[in-house]
Each structure stands twice: as C-alpha cells, then as structure tokens.
Amino acid sequence: NWVILLQQNKPTPAFPPFGGTYFHRPTGRCCDGRLIVDFFGTASLKLQSTQKLGLPLVPPYFRDANCSNCRKFQKGVNFAVVGATALDNAYLAQKGIINELTNVSLGVQLGLLKTLLPSLCSSSSGKYLQMLLFLPNNQKSCNEFLNNSLILMGEIGGNEFNLAFVQGISSEVIGGLVPEVIKAISAAIEELIELGAMTFVVPGTIPLGCLPVLLTRFRTSNKQAYDRYGCLIWLNDFAHYYNEYLKKELESMRRLHPRINIIYADYYQASMPLYLSPGSFGFKSTLTACCGGEGPYNVNVTLSCGDPGTKSCDDPSSYVNWDGAHFTDEAHRVISNGLLDGSCTIP
C-alpha cells in the first residue's frame, strides 16, 4: 500500500534487495520476503478450534481502491500501510511527534473499510481484512459477512513509540501515549463489533530493545543498560508495559462481549526465542541488520536499506533482523509458528 500511494519518489521497499528471498522481486514489503500475515493463510490458526485458512497472499487495498474489480478482494484485503499509527498524525504532532511516512492511521483505515464493505458484501464471496480481514464465503449481508470474518488488528500502535523514541520525545509524553493508543485500538474493535465482526487477532509489540535501529540510537557504554543478550533493558521494559496494558484492555473487552472472539497475539513472546537461542533456528546474527550501512549493528540512521552506500548480507535467513527495524522472512516464519500453534496467543 505504501509503495502504491507514493507514485512519485518510490520508497526503498519498491527496489532490490527488498523481496529477494521469497518473491525474487520487490513487493513493497519491508522485508527480504514474507511478513507474519503472509504465513497465516498456509498454516492452522488456533482460535476457538483449529481451522485451516487456506488463503492466498492478501492484496493491498490501494491496488484497487475504487473496487472496479472487487473479485480480487474476495479472499481478503489489506489496509496496512508502512508507518501507520493508531493515533492520527495531527494528534501526534500536538505531542511533538512527526510522522512523515504516511497519514493513513487506524481511523483512516477503518473508514476505508466501511466505504469498501458494501461492495465486498455484494461481490459474492471472500475469506480475508488487515487492518486485516479474512473474508467469508457466500454471505447474504454485511453483518453476516463480518460475522464470519477474521480481522487482524495490525500490528498497529508501535510506530508512535518508535517515532517518539527516535525524535527524543520525553518519557512522560511517551508513557501518556500508551493509554491513548490502546484506547484507539479498542475503539476500532468496538466499531467493528457494531458492524458485525466477531473474531479479532490483536498483536502486542515486539522486543523494542532488540531492534538494531534503536540499539544504534541509544547506544551507551553503560553495560548495565543491556541484558545478557545485548538488548536494551529499558526499551524492553517499555514493551512489557505496553503489552500488559493492552492485555488488560482486551480482557475487559472480553467481559463486555462474551460472544466475541478477541485473541491477543503475543509478538513479544513469539520473538524472544530468536534472541534466547538463535542457533536452534539457524540464526547467526540477532542484533545486526542484514541490510544496512555501518557500525556495530549495521545501521546508519541517515541511510535506509537499498540506498547507495548500503549493502545486504549474503544469507538473510541467518539474520533475525532485515533492515534495522523489521524482521527477516525467516524470523517471521519462526514467529508465526508460535502464533499459529496457539502457544503465543491468549486465549
């Protein structure tokens, strides 16, 4: 979606080496291959009971925003945009946080879905929406349509904090954003429930203290700032705080809506084995970006993967991190396994 939106000055994910591992061409994904959602259609997802989704790769909404050929969305549609936030850019700007990547926030994505929904309901069949939605087959109404859909809410909300950290926003402001972000996510879920949606997967955030881009930004000579695996403790503590807040909110929503399936996807727990025992999964590098510029983490804050002066590693599958901020295809595969087998989901 991001690449489609930027008709001029295409971003680096529109060019090699992005996409080289699996697709053998750039697809707009911030990865050498597939994302977590790409693995969902080919594996069993444990909801109330295990079911086979059997879905294709989900097409981006902006490929056909006017739905001139809605059949391409019959199995699903992806509204996610690189850099998207749960909170609107105007609100973030009031806090001193500037998002120059996109203005397609969660609220905008929800509005796009509501605009598209009548066309989807009348175009016979479907199985998938991100935000994300797995769409049902042969439903008679939009309510029934959403009743039988699976909505993946992001992962959304992390970009606010990444931007705030990098831009030097105070800890007080960042901490105050946590309830605001989670309120925005829960409000979107409530609105979708009113429209008829009954099944949601809501991801938490990943171990932020293990991201090469943040390790570079907050590099320190204080060894006590790092855990035994080289991750920054305070950033991971923040990720824990955010995730616990989100889990409590989702539990509250389950009590309010006992007939609605609201699954918490623990991206943090699913990610940690990559750092705790990387060799078990064939990884040789955990905290160094495969594609980047320089320094101990192969991250140059003034250059992005794919820019002149950067280079990609020979074997991305041996790296946990792709470009400093995003996982590799192989890391996404391992993380997905923990989500799809139910070991890293609640309930």
- Whether residue 92 contacts residue 98, with contact meaning beta carbons closer than 8 Å, is answered with yes
Averaged pLDDT score across all residues of the chain: 87
What per-residue confidence (pLDDT) applies to 4?
A: 59
What per-residue confidence (pLDDT) applies to 127?
A: 42
What per-residue confidence (pLDDT) applies to 124?
A: 44
pLDDT tens for residues 117-131? 887 776 544 444 445
How far is it, in rounded angstroms, from Cα 237 to Cα 287?
18
What per-residue confidence (pLDDT) applies to 252?
A: 99
φ and ψ of 40, to 5 deg: -65, -35
pLDDT band at 52 (very low <50, low <70, confident <90, very high): very low
What per-residue confidence (pLDDT) applies to 10?
A: 73
What per-residue confidence (pLDDT) applies to 108?
A: 92
- Whether residue 30 contacts residue 323, with contact meaning beta carbons closer than 8 Å, is answered with yes
Looking at the predicted structure, is the pLDDT value of residue 59 above 90?
Answer: no
**282 against 67, higher pLDDT:** 282
Looking at the predicted structure, is the pLDDT value of residue 258 above 50?
Answer: yes
294: left (phi over 0), alpha (psi -120 to 50) or beta: beta
Lowest mean pLDDT among 52-66, 108-122, 148-162, 257-271: 52-66
pLDDT tens for residues 321-333? 999 999 999 999 9
Q: What is the pTM of this model?
A: 0.89
Q: Which of 113, 340, 149 is nearest to 261 (CA)?
A: 149
List the domain boundaries for the chain: 36-210+221-276+330-340
Cβ neighbours around 252 below 10 Å, total:
11
For residue 238 the two structure tokens come to 């923040």
How far is it, in rounded angstroms, from Cα 211 to Cα 164?
15
Largest CA distance in the chain: 62
